[in-house]
A = this chain, B = another copy of it.
Amino acid sequence: MYEGYESDMITTSVTLAGVQFKNRVLVASGTYGYGDDTIELVDVSKLGGIITKSLSMKPRDGNPPPRIVETAGGMLNSIGLANIGVHRFLTEKLPFLRTLDTAIIANIAASSIDEYCNVLDALEAEKGINGYEINVSCPNVKEGGLSFGTNPTMVEEITRRLRSRTKKLLSIKLTPNVTHISEFARAAESAGADALSVINTLIGMGVNIHTRKPMLSTVTGGLSGPAIKPVALAKVYEASKAVKIPVIGIGGIMNANDAIEFLMVGASAVQVGTANYIDPGAGIKIAEGIRVFCEAHNLSDVGDLVGSLDAKTEFSAISSWL
């Protein structure tokens, strides 16, 4: 590394579990549809990757309105995983996605382990998908609706079952609504996950005090956006300290500086979610902003930022007196 380092010589790409990403910025599941709604607005091929909306076996209508409410620095959603189902995805969306020059990760949601497997099998049969992200923040019908993602044994079992069915990139998307996310990170790693996606939304709610009704039809929903960034950073830090596999950082990333914070605490890549609603080109701008930061700091590879936090103190989520 020397002063006049050529900007075009900065390595932005990264290979995770055999998949090459042209940069470390992906768009998060549920915040970019199936990648085909923004083509009038942005050159989506400039993204590191696109994670699809969660796909279930059958199409899902989703929850009744209201599904969205803005909060201080964030938003709550209760979409109910509305999606077109894996088969319509394969026939109606995948052909277009194949034309893009970016990594395509299919996100899978299900209400039973068998459903996870069936959706994955359906996707495995087709070309054009680079890997899978598994949304474990789904109610496990067998256990009375308790989320898979809050039970480490379930996370381990889902991972093991899916691992045995695919050699493609398999990332488990963890929920932050647990005491020790490291426990879940280790469970997924031990069962063969290639990566972890951290975090999904925080559980939250709001009340319309005039009608006395919850702001969301389902009472509680998922909190996302800048408000959750500090929590997401702490979870990514905790998870990435606990495992050797790469962690993909998610939560409240609005600009390149936010993304760089995630890289520094240990994320190998990041996903941009809520920011896409405000600026559908956010992901591309963030990727470019990270590159410019590296240039300014004479780094030859964006990867040099990963885990570069200068923290003398040990991980203190638990041991510091708050």
A: residues with CB less than 8 A from B are 60, 63, 71-74, 76-81, 109, 137-139, 144-147, 150, 177-180, 200-207, 209, 211-214, 217-223, 225-231, 233-234, 237, 252, 257, 260-261, 264-265, 293, 308-311, 313-322
Contacts and interface: CB of A to CB of B under 8 A. Distances in A.
Given A320-B78, A322-B222, A73 B227 contact: yes
A205 B230 contact: yes
A109 B219 CA distance: 34
B264 A207 contact: yes
B71 A229 contact: yes
25 contacts: A71-B227, A71-B230, A72-B74, A72-B252, A73-B74, A76-B230, A78-B320, A78-B322, A139-B320, A146-B319, A179-B179, A202-B231, A203-B317, A204-B234, A205-B233, A205-B234, A206-B230, A207-B233, A211-B310, A214-B309, A219-B314, A219-B320, A220-B234, A220-B320, A227-B228
B109 A321 contact: yes
B221 A320 contact: yes
A194 to B, nearest CB: 23
Please provide the 5 A-B residue pairs with the shortest distance between their CB atoms, ordered closest to farther. Answer: A204-B230, A73-B73, A72-B226, A145-B319, A227-B227
A309 B227 contact: no
A321 B177 CA distance: 14
Given A205-B230, A223-B231, A237-B219, A318 B264 contact: no
B179 A257 contact: no
Nearest to A64: B313
A179 B150 contact: yes
B209 A147 contact: no
Contacts of A223: 230-231
Given A209-B293, A313-B219, A320 B231 contact: no
B233 A204 contact: yes
A140 to B, nearest CB: 9
A204 B202 CA distance: 13
